[in-house]
Amino acid sequence: MHIHRLEKIFLGLGVITLAAFFLILIALQVGESFKPPASSMTIDPTKVASTAPFDRPGLRKLPNGSYEAYYVGQVFFWRPSTLTVPLGAKVRFYVTSTDVVHGFLIEHTDVNLEVMPGWVSTATHVFRHSGDHLIVCDQYCGAGHADMFAHIVVK
């Protein structure tokens, strides 16, 4: 088997580039600066409405000054439908579903979660700009999927 010299160089450069991409991802994960969402919290999907804290979806302030937001997705709306968040707040989102799979996308942020019944998905975001954020459902959930959205108001 003969491999052309130029092909060796070409493949070598390709492999080095790919390895560099991978090393960056490893560094981000080891350094805790970017990890994919990977919560392993579960919840009984038939009892969401009576399971704290999802019985009262909304924002909680923690003693350390950061926030937690609890969201419930259900055909075809999010609860809470509007959430007011103080400017600069660091918010950890906990999102679950009572029925089918939904997607929780806060526009123009990195918060983008598959929301599955039986599971709680999590992500964190710091709100550095005041104004209105649109949340859309970005996983097909049925006939009313296009009209499943909510708002976060930062002020």
Which of 66, 79, 89, 100: binder of another protein (CB under 8 A)?
Answer: 100
Which is nearest to 87 in space by CA: 129, 29, 34, 133? 129
Pick the stretch among 20-28, 50-58, 60-68, 85-93 that binds another protein (CB under 8 A).
20-28
Partner interacting with residue 12 (select from Cu ion, another protein, none; CB below 5-8 Å by kind): none
What DSSP assignment string belongs to 35-88?
------EE--GGGGGGSTTTTS-EEEE-TTS-EEEEEEEETTEEESSEEEE-TT
Instruction: Find the binding residues for another protein in span 47-76 (CB under 8 A).
Output: 75
CB of 75 to Cu ion, least distance (A): 8
CB of 105 to Cu ion, least distance (A): 10
Which is nearest to 66 in space by CA: 126, 110, 111? 126
Which is nearest to 133 in space by CA: 143, 145, 125, 141? 125
Regarding 91 and contact with another protein (CB under 8 A), the answer is no
Binding-residue pattern over the window 24 to 43 for another protein, x denoting contact by CB under 8 A: xxx-xx----xxxxxxxxxx
Partner interacting with residue 16 (select from another protein, Cu ion, none; CB below 5-8 Å by kind): none
Is the Cβ–Cβ distance between 129 and 109 less than 8 Å?
A: no
Residues that bind Cu ion (CB under 5 A): 102, 137, 141, 145, 148
